[in-house]
Structure 1
Amino acid sequence: MCSLPYSLDFKSIQPTFYLFSDKYNCKRRSSGGSSDSGPHTILYQEYSDVAINREIQRQQGKELGTEEEGLRDEGSDGTPSPSNLSPSSSFRSSRGSAFALWQDIPDVRTSGQLDNFSNEERKLQEAKFELVTSEASYIRSLTIAVDHFMLSQELTDCLGAQDRQWLFSKLPEVKDVSERFLQDLEHRLEEDILRFDVCDIVLNHCPALRRVYLPYVTNQAYQEQTYQRLLHDNPRFPSILARLEEDPICQRLPLTSFLILPFQRITRLKMLVENILKRTTPGSRDEDTATKAFNELKKIIKECNCSVQSMKRMEELIHLNKKIHFEGKIFPLISQSRWLVKHGELLEVDTQTMSISGSKLKIPTKPVYLHLFNDMTFSHTWKFMVFVHAKIGELKVKDISQKLQGISGFIFHLQLCEGQQLKHQILLKSHTESGKQRWITAMFPSDPREDIEQASENDDIAQVQCIKSYQAQEHDELTLEKADILHAKTITSDGWVEGIRLSDGERGWFPKTYVEEITSRSARLRNLRENIRIKCVTQKLEGED
C-alpha cells in the first residue's frame, strides 16, 4: 500500500489544477456571496466537452497512436506519451490548464512500479481515475448551482415557493448523495493509489443515485417550462439571473447548463464505467463487478427515461382527446398502454378524378392528417374529425413511388383492414423521401436488436458518430448525445438518417448534419467488437442472476 503525503484535495498536483474537495475551490465569499474561482478551477461543463470530444476522436480512429501501430511508453523527453493514456483522460482544457492524470500523481511517479504496468493496465487505471476526478469536477459545478443560484437571497425573494421547487427540484439532495459517493472514492484512492478499483463503489451507491436522480430527471419537463415562464412573466427574474450568471465563478456559463448537470452526469457515469469494463481482463472478478455496475446504471437511466416518457405520453393523450372527434361513436383514446408513435399531415392522391389538361396530367390532392399510435391509426380531416381507423396489426403499406408515372413526390399505398376485409385504402403523398420512409418505418417497425445482435466481430457495418447533441423533435426521432455510435441503416436524399444506437439498440431518425461517418474500417470493427463484448458479459451475468 502506498500512503499519500498530502490531503485528499490533491494539492500536490496544484500546478495542473485543483481536483478534489470543494472546500478549496468553492467557498462562498462573505462579501459578495460568490465562490473563489481561480484560473485552474475546472467546471464539469468544460471537462465534459473536452472528454467527449476526445472520445469521439478515439472511436473514429483519429487518436494519437492507434492500437494497430502500437503504443510508446515515453516520449524523447521522458514524459508519458499521449498515446499511453486513457483517450478520455489525456487532454488539455480549452483554457490551457492540463487535466491531471493518474500517472502524474507524485506517489505513482516515484513508486518505482509504473514500469511494471502494461499499456492496457495504465489505460485501465487512467479510466478509473477519470471517474473520480470527473466526479469532483461535477460536485464543484453542483456547488455553484446550489450555493450561488439556488441559495441566492435575491433570487429567492423574486420566486414563489412552487416556482423555486420546480426550478431547482432535488438539486441539494443530488449534491449530498454525490459528495458521499466522492468521499468513498477518495478513501479508496488513499488506501491504494496504484491498484485501486471504483466499480464496486459505484455499484454500492446505485440505490442512492436512483433515489435522487429519478425524481430530478422526471421533473425536468416542469423545470424547463418554469424557466421559460419566469423569463417571460416575471419581470425581475431575467435581470437577477443575468447578474448571477455574470459572476466570475460561473465562467460565462448560464444557469441552464448547471440545471441539466444531473442528467448529463448519470449518462456520463455509465460511459465511464463502460470504458473501465472494456479494459478489464475477460473472465475476471473485476469484469463481473464492472458489468454489475454498468447494468445498474443502465437500469437507472432507462427508468429515468421511461418516467419522463410516460408522463409526456399521458399529457399528450389528454390533449389529443380534447381535439379528436369520431363520427357517430365514442372511442376511449386515453389508455396507460397507448402512446403516440407518429403524427403529421400528408396529401391524399385522388386518382378517380384525375384529368388531362393539354399535355399535363392533373391529379388532385387533398390534405389528410394521420395519427399513428402503438396499437391504432387514425385518419382524419384538418378539423380532427376521424373518418377511418384501424388496429396497427391490420395495416398494409406499399411503396409505389416508382410505379406512378406523371405524379411527382413520394407516394405510398396504405390499406386499412378489419380482419380479412379491406376497410379503406388510400394513396398518400409526401413532399420528401424521408417523410415517406419515416411513415413506412413507423407503421412497420423491425426489431433493431436483430440488426446489431446478428452482426459478428468481423462484420463491417456502416457507422456514424454524433458530433453535436440532438434533441428529438418528433416521436420517431432519436435523441443523440455527443460520441454516440450508430449503425446507419437508411440515409435519405434530403439529409435524414435512420440509425440504431450500438450501446442500447434504440432506433430512430435524426438529421445527417449532427453525425459524422466513421471512415476507418479498423475503428468500425473495434467499436463493434467492444459493443459485442459488453453485450456478451451483460447477458452472461443476467443469465447467472
Structure 2
Amino acid sequence: VKFELIVSEASYLRSLNIAVDHFQLSTSLRATLSNQEHQWLFSRLQDVRDVSATFLSDLEENFENNIFSFQVCDVVLNHAPDFRRVYLPYVTNQTYQERTFQSLMNSNSNFREVLEKLESDPVCQRLSLKSFLILPFQRITRLKLLLQNILKRTQPGSSEEAEATKAHHALEQLIRDCNNNVQSMRRTEELIYLSQKIEFECKIFPLISQSRWLVKSGELTALEFSASPGLRRKLNTRPVHLHLFNDCLLLSRPREGSRFLVFDHAPFSSIRGEKCEMKLHGPHKNLFRLFLRQNTQGAQAEFLFRTETQSEKLRWISALAMPREELDLLECYNSPQVQCLRAYKPRENDELALEKADVVMVTQQSSDGWLEGVRLSDGERGWFPVQQVEFISNPEVRAQNLKEAHRVKTAKLQLVEQQA
C-alpha cells in the first residue's frame, strides 16, 4: 500500500503537469477567457501541482533512504498544512468552476474550438479538460483511503498505528472541511433561490438563515376524504409540495413558474412521518401519513400522502424521522453490505456520494432499485441506486469490514481524546 501511494502520487503529478502546462498556461486558451473566468476555471491548480511535487520528492527520498521499512505517514503529516492551504480553496471553488465551464461551453464558441484542439493532443491521452480539473478532488479521497488501508495493517498499540491514525485523521478532517465549504455555499444559494419562489398565505417567517439547509423537497399527492350525499366518503386528491429543512417543514400549493404558496409549516421537532397500511382501491399505493403536533395555528394536523414510487415513500419517512443514533458496528454482523462498482454523484440532498470501492452497510432497501446505507469509512448516511453497487455475499468479508471500520473509528476517537 505504501508503494502504491508513491506510484499513484507520481501518476497524479504527471496529470497535474498536463493540466497546468498544456491547459492553464495555454496562451490560445487564455485569449478566449476573461481574468475572472480563468481564475474560476483553474483556481489554485498550479499551487496544487507544486505541493504534489514537493510531497512526491519527500516520499521518494524516504523510500530511497530505507527501501525495506520506509514510512509514509510522517511525510503525509508534515505536508498536511500544505494540503490544507491549497486543496481547501481549490475544492471550495468547485461550484464556480463547474458553472463557469458549463457557461463557456454553452456560449463561448472560441473557447470550445481552442479546447477541442488542445484536448485532441496526444499528451492528453483522450482525456478532457474536465477530467483533469476534478483530479484534486479525487486525489485527496484516494489518499485518505490509502492511509486507511495502511492503518488497518499496523500493529494495534504500536507507534506506526498512532502515526497512521494522525495522518488519516488529518486527511479526513481536510475532506470534511472541503465538503462543508462546498455544501455551505450551495445551501446558501439554494435558500436565496427558494426565498424568491416561496410566498406565504399563513404566518410568515424569514427563510434565509445561516444554520438552515434544505434536506429534501418534492411534490406529493395529498389524499383527503370528504363527506358526500348519502354519507359516502369521497376521496379527493391535490398536489402538495413539501420543503423539508433541518429545522422546519413547509407545506405549499404549487403555482406556475415553479413558485410555491405556503399554507402551513411546523418546526422539525413537532413533525412525524409513518407508513400507512390503509388499502385503497385504484392507483393509491405508496402511502404515508404526516403528523404535525403543532402547525402555524398551534393545532395538530394530519395528512395522507401518496408518492409515485416505493423508494420515494421510504425516503420521505426516513427524512422525516428524528436523527438516528450512531450505529454500533460490532452489533451489525447480520446487516447486508455492498461495495461500490461505479462512482455516484448525488442528484438530491438525501443521497450518498459514492466512490469506487466504497463499502456501505445497507439499512433499507426499496422494491424499485434504491438502497439506504451507512458508509463504513466515515459513517455518512444516504440513498443510492442499487445498480452502482454489488452485494458482498461472503459473511467473513462482511465481518472483517466491520472489524476494520470499528478499529479505525476507535483509533480516531482515542486520538481526538488525546488532543482534547
Q: TM-score range by the shorter chain?
A: over 0.9
Query: Which secondary structure does the structure 2 equivalent of 1:380 belong to?
Result: strand
Q: Measure, in 1, the Cα distance between the counterparts of 2:385 and 2:78.
A: 39
Which residue does 1:217 correspond to in 2?
A: 91
Q: Measure, in 1, the Cα distance between the counterparts of 2:169 and 2:263.
A: 46
Residue 280 of structure 2 corresponds to residue 405 of structure 1: yes
Q: Measure, in 2, the Cα distance between the counterparts of 1:198 and 1:165.
A: 33
Which residue does 1:204 correspond to in 2?
A: 78
Query: Which secondary structure does the structure 2 equivalent of 1:390 belong to?
Result: strand
Matches within 5 A, 1:487-498: 487-498=361-372
Which residue does 2:262 correspond to in 1?
A: 386
Matches within 5 A, 1:119-518: 127-327=1-201, 329-352=203-226, 363-383=235-255, 384-400=260-276, 402-406=277-281, 408-418=284-294, 422-447=299-324, 449-450=326-327, 453-456=328-331, 459-518=333-392
Q: Relative to 1, partners in 2 of residues 1:140 and 1:178: Cα closer, same or farther, differing over 3 Å?
A: same
- How far residue 237 of structure 1 moved from its aligned partner, in angstroms, is 1.1
- How far residue 201 of structure 1 moved from its aligned partner, in angstroms, is 0.6
TM-score, normalization: structure 2? 0.94
Which residue does 1:117 correspond to in 2?
A: none
Q: How many residues align?
A: 412
Which residue does 1:5 correspond to in 2?
A: none
- How far residue 542 of structure 1 moved from its aligned partner, in angstroms, is 1.7
Query: Which secondary structure does the structure 2 equivalent of 1:469 belong to?
Result: coil
Q: Give me the identity figure in percent.
A: 51
Which residue does 1:120 correspond to in 2?
A: none
- How far residue 398 of structure 1 moved from its aligned partner, in angstroms, is 2.5
Q: Measure, in 2, the Cα distance between the counterparts of 1:353 and 1:214.
A: 60
Which residue does 1:13 correspond to in 2?
A: none
- How far residue 446 of structure 1 moved from its aligned partner, in angstroms, is 4.0
Larger Rg over CA atoms: 1
1:460/1:525 contact within 8 Å kept: no
1:211-242 Cα offsets, whole Å, 9 max, x none, are 10001001011111111111111111111111
Q: Relative to 1, partners in 2 of residues 1:186 and 1:405: Cα closer, same or farther, differing over 3 Å?
A: same
Q: Relative to 1, partners in 2 of residues 1:353 and 1:141: Cα closer, same or farther, differing over 3 Å?
A: farther
- How far residue 528 of structure 1 moved from its aligned partner, in angstroms, is 1.1
Structure 1 gap segments, 5+ residues each:
1-126
Q: Relative to 1, partners in 2 of residues 1:354 and 1:219: Cα closer, same or farther, differing over 3 Å?
A: farther
Q: Measure, in 2, the Cα distance between the counterparts of 1:542 and 1:509.
A: 29
Query: Which secondary structure does the structure 2 equivalent of 1:418 belong to?
Result: coil
1:415/1:422 contact within 8 Å kept: no
- How far residue 355 of structure 1 moved from its aligned partner, in angstroms, is 9.1
1:370-427 Cα offsets, whole Å, 9 max, x none, are 1000000000100211110000010132311x22332521111112122996432211
1:463/1:488 contact within 8 Å kept: yes
1:470/1:479 contact within 8 Å kept: yes
1:342-370 Cα offsets, whole Å, 9 max, x none, are 000000101115799xxx99632111101
Q: Measure, in 2, the Cα distance between the counterparts of 1:528 and 1:217.
A: 30
Q: Measure, in 2, the Cα distance between the counterparts of 1:168 and 1:429.
A: 46
- How far residue 529 of structure 1 moved from its aligned partner, in angstroms, is 1.4
Structure 2 gap segments, 5+ residues each:
none
- RMSD between aligned alpha carbons? 1.9
Q: Measure, in 2, the Cα distance between the counterparts of 1:499 and 1:445.
A: 16
Q: Relative to 1, partners in 2 of residues 1:542 and 1:354: Cα closer, same or farther, differing over 3 Å?
A: farther
Structure with greater strand percent: 2
